Amino acid sequence: MSEPGKGSERGWSLSARAEDEGVRLELGLPDLGGRPVTAILSLDRTEARAFARALLAAAGDATERTFVGPQEP
């Protein structure tokens, strides 16, 4: 499988562009239930900031769960 986010035929893609008072996010998934899907989110500035914070928190949580520290004796 290709590297995520590269927008290739087999990987997912994410694009963002400014809209009137916010941002439009498009998340493309190559295979969801056997067919490609694009999710489109139109967010105002407050919603976009909250969404970004939630993504960062989820990424941090996933990193902590993946890279655990040394086990205590």
pLDDT of residue 72: 64
> CA–CA distance from 24 to each of 19, 51, 68 (Å)?
6, 12, 35
State the chain's mean pLDDT as an integer: 83
Amino acid code (one letter) for 1? M
Q: How far apart are CA 35 and CA 60, in angstroms?
A: 30
Token pair in block for residue 13: 């893609």
Q: How far apart are CA 62 and CA 73, in angstroms?
A: 25
Q: What is the pLDDT of residues 49-61, one digit of tens each?
A: 999 999 999 998 8
Q: How far apart are CA 50 and CA 43, in angstroms?
A: 10
pTM: 0.63
Check whether 8 has a pLDDT greater than 70.
Answer: no
